[in-house]
């Protein structure tokens, strides 16, 4: 384990005793939930103010930042007070590290990771196989510095079980806001039997996330409420990795989208919309969704509408880059490869255009399309797209809070949990 990785882990364990564990040890017992930690940081990046501060000391208790002091601090009084109260205490010295808020990835798929065998795995793996793998991906994501994610779709609600296990301290992972199953239409990007031979297709229904009317939309959202989802993910346009012919055709009517959004907002859910094509994006924004994911072929009218409606944009440039590379390496069936080559190169330019136009942008990566844990590469791509470095860090920390929860709140306050690599800069 490298020095950097160890520091990262130490900081996380100290801040999230229930949610985090070191790479070598099992999760801590619930008794350490009230741990008091004093963290000495060489520098602290205040993303809310957009400023790098000098030496800073944080006092963290039960996962919440209680005090923040400029310069160093005598930790002894805190040790004595913790001992007197019977609380565990740690003094963590990070003499050459920069502290910053835990990162938020607004678009992950923690229950799978794409590979050459993904299409045939569907016939060999059970939901339990995906659930077990998700615990590995969740830990990898946490150790990469991402302490909160929105999980935008799975096939069997495995990410709801994963969220519950993380919250209970059974497995280490980030705070997860789960959309449960995807919601889409027959033959569309979310149809779990897309591309199957006829006798295997069945007829997926609202309970499987497949809707074909506004009434179905209400039923699917209510099923998500029953299943314990935190938000809703819909598919108003075609997608790249399914076996349909188009990545950009509209796949939901305006009425279906409006029905999903109205139902979702009744239950306190936000709605994230996967959309590549200009028409799918337009309908999603007019239908009232809270965010557009990917947004590849966003046109001037879409940008204008998104600004008017205050719709968030989550570009996921890294996913576009990854599928474009893998298409050249023969990973996909021919029509998926064709779509990957069509979509991949466009997202970065779209992200730059949207930023310049003043669309609200949040950090999200589509993790699971590319290997989990490499989420931070998106920062580099966002800068290449023309966004300032401080802006992209804000997009992954302070900017998105209002969208993660409708009222801007977290179940637990975000603590400073990540050490920004490379150290010393
Ligand atoms: Zn996705």
Summarize pLDDT for 161-186 with one digit per residue, the tens. Answer: 999 999 999 999 999 999 999 999 99
CB 100 within 8 A of CB 139: no
Q: Cα of 313 to ligand 1 centre, how many Å?
A: 13
Position 282 scores a pLDDT of: 98
Is residue 79 predicted with pLDDT exceeding 80?
Answer: yes
304 or 96, which is more confident? 304
Torsion of CA 57, 63, 67, 68, to 10 degrees: 40
Q: How far apart are CA 361 and CA 62, in angstroms?
A: 31
Is residue 382 predicted with pLDDT exceeding 80?
Answer: yes
Please check whether residues 190 and 337 belong to one and the same domain: yes
Q: Cα of 241 to ligand 1 centre, how many Å?
A: 10
Please check whether residues 98 and 126 belong to one and the same domain: no
Q: Residues 27-58, buried b or exposed e (16+ Cβ, 10 A)? A: bbeeebbebbbbbbbbbbbbbeeeeeeeebbb
Structure confidence at residue 234 as a pLDDT band (50, 70, 90): very high
Q: Cα of 162 to ligand 1 centre, how many Å?
A: 17
Q: Cα of 366 to ligand 1 centre, how many Å?
A: 5
Q: Which two tokens stand for residue 414?
A: 């975000």
Mean pLDDT of 246-264: 95
SS3 at position 67: strand
User: CA 272, 188, 364: angle at the middle one, nearest 5?
Assistant: 30
Please check whether residues 146 and 236 belong to one and the same domain: yes
Please check whether residues 112 and 79 belong to one and the same domain: no
The number of distinct structural domains making up the chain is 2
Is residue 322 predicted with pLDDT exceeding 50?
Answer: yes
Q: Which of 81, 102, 123 is the last residue of a domain?
A: 102
Please check whether residues 98 and 112 belong to one and the same domain: no
Position 32 scores a pLDDT of: 64
Phi, psi of 312, deg, nearest 5 = -75, 155
Q: How many CA atoms lie within 13 A of 421 on its CB side?
A: 13
> How many angstroms separate the Cα of 221 from the Cα of each of 265, 282, 285?
10, 22, 18
Q: Tell whether 367 is covered by a domain.
A: yes
Please check whether residues 347 and 234 belong to one and the same domain: yes
Q: Cα of 157 to ligand 1 centre, how many Å?
A: 15
Mean pLDDT of 138-156: 95
Summarize pLDDT for 1-23 with one digit per residue, the tens. Answer: 333 333 333 333 333 322 233 33
Q: Cα of 62 to ligand 1 centre, how many Å?
A: 33
Which among 252, 255, 360 has a CA at the least distance from the CA of 315? 360
Is residue 408 predicted with pLDDT exceeding 50?
Answer: no
Q: Which residues surround ligand 1, an ion (CB under 5 A)?
A: 366
136 or 398, which is more confident? 136
Q: Tell whether 419 is covered by a domain.
A: no
Please check whether residues 229 and 140 belong to one and the same domain: yes
Q: Cα of 107 to ligand 1 centre, how many Å?
A: 6
Which among 302, 295, 274, 300 has a CA at the least distance from the CA of 343? 295
Percent of the chain residues past pLDDT 70, beyond the cut: 86
Structure confidence at residue 416 as a pLDDT band (50, 70, 90): very low
CB 141 within 8 A of CB 106: no
Which residues are registered as beta bridge partners of 146? 103
Residue 100 DSSP one-character state: E
Q: Cα of 252 to ligand 1 centre, how many Å?
A: 17
Q: Cα of 334 to ligand 1 centre, how many Å?
A: 21
Q: How far apart are CA 395 and CA 116, in angstroms?
A: 32
Q: Cα of 302 to ligand 1 centre, how many Å?
A: 20
Mean pLDDT of the chain: 86
Q: Tell whether 422 is covered by a domain.
A: no
- Nearby residues of 149 by Cβ (< 8 Å), 6 or more positions away: 104, 105, 106, 108, 110, 141, 174, 175, 176, 177, 367
Summarize pLDDT for 267-276 with one digit per residue, the tens. Answer: 999 999 999 9
- Nearby residues of 13 by Cβ (< 8 Å), 6 or more positions away: 20, 21, 22, 28
Is residue 25 predicted with pLDDT exceeding 70?
Answer: no
Please check whether residues 176 and 212 belong to one and the same domain: yes
Mean pLDDT of 363-375: 97
Q: Cα of 273 to ligand 1 centre, how many Å?
A: 10
Summarize pLDDT for 51-63 with one digit per residue, the tens. Answer: 999 999 999 888 7
DSSP per-residue string spanning 149-203? EEE--BSSSHHHHHHHHHHTTSS---EEEE--B-BB-TTSTT-TTTT--HHHH--
Phi, psi of 29, deg, nearest 5 = -70, 155
CB neighbour class for 375 (10 Å; exposed up to 12, middle 13-18, buried from 19)? buried
Q: Tell whether 418 is covered by a domain.
A: no
CB 354 within 8 A of CB 318: no
Q: Tell whether 213 is covered by a domain.
A: yes
Report the CATH number that the domain containing residue 91 is assigned in CATH.
2.30.40
Q: Cα of 418 to ligand 1 centre, how many Å?
A: 24
Ramachandran bin of 246, using left for φ above 0, alpha for ψ from -120 to 50, beta for the remaining angles:
beta
Q: How far apart are CA 214 and CA 216, in angstroms?
A: 5
Cis peptide preceding 84, ω within 30 of 0: no
Q: Which of 51, 71, 102 is the last residue of a domain?
A: 102
Mean pLDDT of 146-152: 94
Q: Which of 80, 102, 124 is the last residue of a domain?
A: 102
Report the CATH number that the domain containing residue 125 is assigned in CATH.
3.20.20.140
> How many angstroms separate the Cα of 336 from the Cα of each of 195, 278, 297, 372?
11, 20, 17, 21
Q: Name the strand (E) or helix (H) holding 293.
A: strand 291-294
Q: Cα of 129 to ligand 1 centre, how many Å?
A: 20
Q: Cα of 137 to ligand 1 centre, how many Å?
A: 15
Mean pLDDT of 295-310: 97
Q: Tell whether 149 is covered by a domain.
A: yes
Mean pLDDT of 286-299: 96
Q: Tell whether 423 is covered by a domain.
A: no
Range of the domain at 393: 103-403
Q: Cα of 51 to ligand 1 centre, how many Å?
A: 32
């Amino acid at each position: 384990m490298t020095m950097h990785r160890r520091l990262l882990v130490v900081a996380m364990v100290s801040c999230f005793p229930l949610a985090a564990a070191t790479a070598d040890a099992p999760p801590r017992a619930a008794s350490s939930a009230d741990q008091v930690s004093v963290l000495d940081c060489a520098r602290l990046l205040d993303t809310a103010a957009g400023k790098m501060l000098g030496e800073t000391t944080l006092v963290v208790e039960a996962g919440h930042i209680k005090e923040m002091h400029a310069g160093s601090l005598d930790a002894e009084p805190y040790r004595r007070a913790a001992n007197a109260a019977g609380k565990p205490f740690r003094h963590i010295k990070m003499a050459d590290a920069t502290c910053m808020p835990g990162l938020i990835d607004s678009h992950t798929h923690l229950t799978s990771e794409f590979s050459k065998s993904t299409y045939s795995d569907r016939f060999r793996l059970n939901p339990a196989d995906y659930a077990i793998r998700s615990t590995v991906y969740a830990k990898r994501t946490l150790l990469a510095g991402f302490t909160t994610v929105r999980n935008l779709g799975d096939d069997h609600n495995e990410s709801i079980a994963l969220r519950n296990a993380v919250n209970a301290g059974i497995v280490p992972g980030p705070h997860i806001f789960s959309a449960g199953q995807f919601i889409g239409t027959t033959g569309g990007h979310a149809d779990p039997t897309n591309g199957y031979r006829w006798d295997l297709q069945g007829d997926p229904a609202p309970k499987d996330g497949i809707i074909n009317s506004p009434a179905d939309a209400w039923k699917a959202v209510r099923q998500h409420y029953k299943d314990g989802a935190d938000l809703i993910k819909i598919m108003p346009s075609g997608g790249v990795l399914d076996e349909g012919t188009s990545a950009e055709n509209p796949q939901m009517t305006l009425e279906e989208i409006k029905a999903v959004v109205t139902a979702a907002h009744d239950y306190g859910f936000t709605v994230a919309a996967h959309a590549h094509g200009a028409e799918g994006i337009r309908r999603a924004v007019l239908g009232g969704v809270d965010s557009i994911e990917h947004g590849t072929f966003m046109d001037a009218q879409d940008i204008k509408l998104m600004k008017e409606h205050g719709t968030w944009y989550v570009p996921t440039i890294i996913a576009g880059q990854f599928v474009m590379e893998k298409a050249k390496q023969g990973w996909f069936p021919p029509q998926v490869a064709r779509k990957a080559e069509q979509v991949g190169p466009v997202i970065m330019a779209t992200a730059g255009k949207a930023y310049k136009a003043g669309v609200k942008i949040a950090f999200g990566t589509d993790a699971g399309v590319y290997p989990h844990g490499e989420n931070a590469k998106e920062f580099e791509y966002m800068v290449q797209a023309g966004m300032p470095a401080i802006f992209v860090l804000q997009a992954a920390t302070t900017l998105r809070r209002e969208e993660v929860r409708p009222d801007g709140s977290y179940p637990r306050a975000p603590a400073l949990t990540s050490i920004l690599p490379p150290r010393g800069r």
